[in-house]
């Protein structure tokens, strides 16, 4: 259930500074969002898969921490990122 190489390269190109920028916070948030969407679809048909549920909750927590970091450092970048990814603004 990993993100395909092509999709990952596309996300890095879209949200990174260049095609080798895989470590910046916006790229990490985009990749986590993609994995979260895939796992959410998996959970819809496998409600009792608690191992996947735990992993999904850990990914959501990691994405939340990264979004909090981005919001703290650059509010405009944060607003653009959540708008482009379709994430609700619930970071305090």
Check which CATH number belongs to the domain holding 60 and give it: 1.10.287.10
Residue 89 lies in a domain: no
Local confidence band at 90 (pLDDT 50, 70, 90 cut-offs) = confident
pLDDT at site 2: 83
Q: Averaged over 69-80, what is the pLDDT?
A: 95
How far CA 56 is from CA of 9, 40, 43, 61, 73, in Å, comes to: 22, 8, 9, 9, 26
Count of domains forming the chain: 1
Residue 45 lies in a domain: yes
Residue 90 lies in a domain: no
Q: Which domain holds residue 51?
A: 3-83
pLDDT at site 1: 63
pTM of the model: 0.93
Residue 91 lies in a domain: no
Residue 32 lies in a domain: yes
Mean pLDDT of the chain: 94
How far CA 92 is from CA of 24, 27, 38, 61, 68, in Å, comes to: 21, 21, 26, 14, 8
Residue 46 lies in a domain: yes
């Amino acid at each position: 259930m990993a993100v395909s190489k092509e999709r990952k390269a596309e996300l890095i190109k879209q949200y990174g500074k260049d095609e080798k920028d895989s470590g910046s916070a916006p790229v990490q948030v985009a990749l986590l969002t993609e994995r979260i969407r895939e796992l959410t679809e998996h959970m819809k048909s496998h409600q009792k898969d608690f191992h996947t549920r735990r992993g999904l909750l850990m990914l959501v927590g990691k994405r939340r921490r990264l979004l909090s970091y981005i919001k703290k450092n650059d509010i405009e970048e944060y607003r653009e990122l959540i708008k482009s990814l379709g994430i609700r603004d619930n970071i305090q």
